[in-house]
Structure 1
Amino acid sequence: MKKLLLFFILITGILFTSCGEEKKTNENKPLIVGMELAYPPFETKDSNGNPTGISVDFAKEFGKFIGKDVKIENIAWDGLIPSIQTKKVDMVISSMTITEERKNIVDFSIPYANSLLGMLINKNSPIKDAQDLNKNNITIAVKTGSTGFIYANKYLTNAKITSLADESACVTEVIQGKADVFLYDQLTIYRNWEKNQNTTKAVFIPFQNPEKWGVAVRKGDTELLNKMNEFIEKFNKEGGFDKLTEKYLSEEKENFDKLGFKWFFDLDE
């Protein structure tokens, strides 16, 4: 009987120790954040190849908020959501638009930024505004899986749609005249037009309902989601997004204000 009691005490102690060690391990485990480091200044690399940008700073500030180190995983765009599903990452912070299709497979935080579409147009193209897009003589370049891709496939079915893996390939298609237009977010369009003014023109679509960027987590991970929502509200109230704008996008903010475009972090309706 004494041996049985001793055995029971020993097993119970091992179980509690194991549970305690597992909990401690989970607490010390870094927060793994997926990003495609190909969209400066939000997600990119510095001269040494290290992750940098608005989303990187944002993720690290969230890490401080929950008391965890942050590890950034550079993942191709079409692999970001699968990386959440397979538990390769804990969340994705990668300028990702909240869509109904994506909400079916991941959970999103409250919005932290706006996303609006613009057009980079070849100067020899007949396109003058968005009403000219949905015609069978128009070729539209889109980045696979992007909001422009979703929009074009849903609303521009009369046009020829060329889907490519990255934005630089889409820009090249327009510059070389293989595509009439590249449909993407306004900041990317603005920057690529600045670099290619001899061959392209930029047309913005200011009178549209802005779509929203959110942080994506695994379905049902309410604990992490609630912490992120709390952080976003706190970070916004304390001027965190204003500081990121000043650090990374001060010139763009000034130009967007002059043009009357809605800013990324202006979430007021």
Structure 2
Amino acid sequence: MKEIKAFIIVLILSLFVISCNKKNTNNSGSITKKAPLKVGMELKWPPFETITEDGKPTGISVDLAYELGKYLDRDIEIVDTSFGSLIPALETGKIDIIIASMSITKERAEKINFSKPYFYFSLVTLLNKNSNIKDKKELFSREGLKFVGPKSFVALKIPKEKANNPKLLEFDDKSSAVLEVVQGKADAFIIDAIAASEFYSKYPEQTEILWDPVEQAKIGMGLRKSDTELLEKVNTFINDLEKNGVYKRLAEKYNSIIDKSLPGQTLDFYTTPIGDE
């Protein structure tokens, strides 16, 4: 009788193991693996999303995607997609997530879910060197400063709303606007940090950069509205970027590269929100 009971127990355990194995195998009997997480980004924006000389994806966003893959225990497949096609690609299932320096906006959030922000892209100010403006507070409090910018550009919208009786000088393009600052006909040009650095490198004797951020765009990962479980995991991953050493690893690899495009700056420039919010 004992032998029969023992045989039944062994049989039940065997069936349980077989059942578990079936859940992790395909029809051919081989062990299945989670499908790669398809990450969409446009590989033409160094140092965040670009390619090596031999065509391999590289950059801060690429490494961040691989860090996410480790956290989720999933392989990562980088899918090079034009920026304007990223949301349609996500909606149609061609990609699973967007990690592409995409700013969180109300219009985009109507179509997709955004994670918590993980980077902050700042607008800074290119100044005429004789302006003697020390910080953002002085930029907006000094009366009658001349701000310059292209038509319908945020460079003029911000001082119109925040500056003290500013004079707004409107031009057709960035190059014409910058020349006004270079020649001393304007005091300030609010612009993205990389563009400000490029203009400064051309006119280092006439201009300087006020690195105190005027405004920031919050950068998030984009997911399908239906992928709430993945969104929760991604948000947990983002919450722990500093604690888990991800920011540190990215900084060690990219600080010197960031310094080339933004002299004197490090990854902290992209990870620190205004007001340390």
Q: TM-score range by the shorter chain?
A: 0.5 to 0.7
Given candidates 12, 23, 39, the residue that maps to 1:33 is: 39
Residue 264 (str. 1) matches residue 274 (str. 2): no
Structure 2 vs 1, CA of residues 244 and 112 (structure 1 numbering), >3 Å: closer, same or farther? same
Q: Which runs of 5+ in 1 are unaligned?
A: 1-16, 142-148, 163-169
Superposed CA deviations along residues 101-152 of structure 1, whole A, max 9, x for unmatched, are 221111111111112113568x8xxxx9786457xxx5359xxxxxxx6x46
Q: Closer, same or farther in 2 for the Cα pair 1:117/1:209, shift >3 Å?
A: closer
Match of 2:212, SS?
A: coil
Change (3 A) 1:219 1:133: farther
Partner SS, residue 239 of structure 2? helix
Amino acid at match of 1:39: W
Query: Which aligned pairs between 1:134-149 and structure 2 lie closer than 5 A?
Result: 139-140=150-151
Say whether 1:185 aligns with 2:196. no
Q: Give the deviation of 1:37 after TM superposition.
A: 1.5
Task: Summarize the Cα distance change of 1:18–1:33 in structure 2 as closer, same or farther, 3 Å threshold.
Answer: same
Distance in 1 (alpha carbons) for counterparts of 2:101 and 2:205: 28
1:256 alignment partner AA: Q
Q: Secondary structure at the match of 2:214?
A: coil
- Name the stretch that deviates more: 152-161 or 27-36: 152-161
Unmatched 5+ stretches in structure 2: 1-21, 134-138, 161-167, 181-185
Pair 1:63–1:161, CA change in 2 (3 A): farther
Q: Distance in 2 between matches of 1:230 and 1:74?
A: 26
Look up the SS of the partner of 1:87 in the other structure.
Answer: coil
- Please give the residue correspondences for 1:1-269 in structure 2 after superposition, counting only pairs within 5 Å: 21=26, 27-118=33-124, 132-133=146-147, 139-140=150-151, 151=154, 184-186=191-193, 188-193=194-199, 195-197=201-203, 201=207, 203-204=209-210, 206=212, 208-250=214-256, 252=259, 255-256=264-265, 263-267=269-273, 268-269=276-277
SS state at 1:116 partner: strand
Cα contact 1:44–1:52 (8 A) shared by 2: yes
> What is the alpha-carbon distance in structure 1 between the residues aligned to residue 24 and residue 244 of structure 2?
38
Scaled by the length of structure 1, the TM-score of the pair is: 0.65
Q: What is the SS of the residue equivalent to 1:225?
A: helix
Question: For the residues of structure 1 that align with 2:159 and 2:32, how far apart are their CA atoms?
Answer: 47
TM normalised by structure 2 equals 0.63
- State how far apart, in whole Å, the 1-side matches of 2:178 and 2:32 are: 50
Deviation at 1:193, TM superposition (A): 3.0
Change (3 A) 1:89 1:233: same
Displacement of 1:42: 1.1
CA contact (8 A) 1:45 1:51 kept: yes
CA distance in 1, matches of 2:36, 2:158: 42
Structure 1 vs Structure 2: percent identity of aligned residues? 32
Report how many aligned residue pairs link the two structures: 224
Name the CA shift for 1:218/1:199 in 2 (closer, same or farther; >3 Å). farther
> Matches of 1:82 and 1:161 in 2, distance apart?
34
Paired residue type of 1:30: P
Alignment CA distance shift 1:172-1:199 (3 Å): farther
Q: Could you list the per-position Cα deviations for residues 69-91 of structure 1 after superposition, in whole angstroms to 9, with x for gaps in the alignment?
A: 11111222222222212222111
204-213 vs 40-49, which moves further: 204-213
Structure with greater Cα Rg: 2
